[in-house]
Amino acid sequence: MTTKEAPNPAVYLTAKSPVTSLAFFQTETSTQDFLLVGSSVGTLSIYDCSIWRLKCSIKVSEKGILWCEGSKDNIFVQSRFEGLKVYQFSPKNENDACLELAQFYISHEGFCKGFIHEDSGNIHLFLPSDGSKLTICNFKQKFIRPVHSLNAESKFKNKKFGTLMASKILRENEVITGYENSEIILWNWRKNEVLTTFPVPECGTIMSIATSLNNGPFVIVAGAENKIVVLKYEENQFTVIKEHEITNAGIGVLGLRPDVPILTCGGWDHRIRLFSFKYPEKLKPLAVLDFHSEAVESMAFSKRPLRTGICRGKTCTAAGSKDGKISIWTLYS
């Protein structure tokens, strides 16, 4: 009787320092795909996905990078304690591919990842800031205009939420935030209005949130404990439809694939777990990927199949770890 071997990544990259943020990116002026890699030492590295080689690397900050993401020809990078920087990326410029356009002091002492949300040509930045705050700004050219600051402790004055730990868009006007005290809040971010709150004590301190609109909307929550909790939002309230217990405590990152209903989880036990999300109430386990040697705390998905290189025609999942490696997977693609 033979034992089935665990799958290996299609590619792996070495960042030489713990990986804190990942994002796939394509510019307006190039058909190439790139992978943005943020590190705990404040370095942003950009890899060409056609050959999986380093295109350029820049020192953004002295502290770790919280998140990085690209839009059009711009790259947005927020670092712990040091704020947001915006770069113009020109892949054809071999000597100076990244030019700093602007920087803004929006400091966050925690580990929450922000993100970009685009609609009707507008770029909205969701930036973790002081304590429990999520600051929302519009970006245009080199400038940002504050829209709202979603502050849980100003809405609920007699309650302590602790640090903002996770945030994610649910629907066009709705964003989910998760906190150190194991609660989530659903906001209408355009109106700075709380729609509902929900405690998820099974997760402990919330570390990551994923959302799905297919037959939902659904919200998946995980954190310092060993539970993954799936919530359904209907009639203005959340209902728990599934709790799944894994072997070891600590889930650093969650993500849903854009092409197929698969939930991917990165664990503090260095493993990547895949679940079918076709039937969210079942959350059927698909695979456990045991490549990394330390906690997996960042993840990204290509929005479409790559067009060149050894992963051509495949939707890629990138996972980053404290071990300084980035694994690239094409399973179920």
290-304 pLDDT, tens digit each: 999 999 999 999 998
pLDDT band at residue 1 using 50, 70 and 90 as cut-offs? very low
Q: What strands lie across the sheet with 19-25, from one edge to the other?
A: 19-25, 34-39, 43-48, 53-59
Distances (CA, A) of 322 to 70, 227, 243, 294, 296: 23, 22, 27, 5, 7
Model confidence at 171: pLDDT above 90: yes
pLDDT at residue 2 greater than cutoff 50: no
Q: Tell me the per-residue pLDDT of 63-85, one tens digit each, with 9 for 90 and over.
A: 999 999 999 889 999 999 999 99
Rounded to the nearest 10°, the torsion over CA 220, 221, 222, 227 is -80
* pLDDT (average), residues 242-259: 96
Question: What is the tens place of the pLDDT at every residue in 277-293?
Answer: 999 999 999 999 999 99
pLDDT of residue 234: 93
Given a cut of 90, whether residue 92 has pLDDT beyond it is no
pLDDT value at position 93?
A: 80
Residue showing tokens 């304590």? 131
Prediction pTM value: 0.95
How far are the Cα atoms of 1, 89, 292, 299 from residue 58, in angstroms, in the given order? 51, 12, 25, 21
Beta strand pairing call for 83-89 and 74-79: antiparallel
Tallying the residues shown for the chain, one arrives at 333
Helix %, strand %, coil % of the chain (to 5): 0, 55, 45
Residue 308 pLDDT more than 90?
A: no
Q: Confidence class of residue 307 from pLDDT cuts 50, 70 and 90?
A: confident
pLDDT of residue 4: 61
Q: What are the start-end ranges of the E strands in 158-236?
A: 164-169, 174-179, 183-188, 193-199, 206-212, 218-223, 227-234
Mean residue pLDDT of the chain comes to: 94
**Which pLDDT score, from 0 to 100, does residue 128 have?**
98
Alpha-carbon distance 125 to 137, whole Å? 5
Rounded average pLDDT over 136-154? 94
CA separation for the pair 219, 214 (Å, rounded): 11
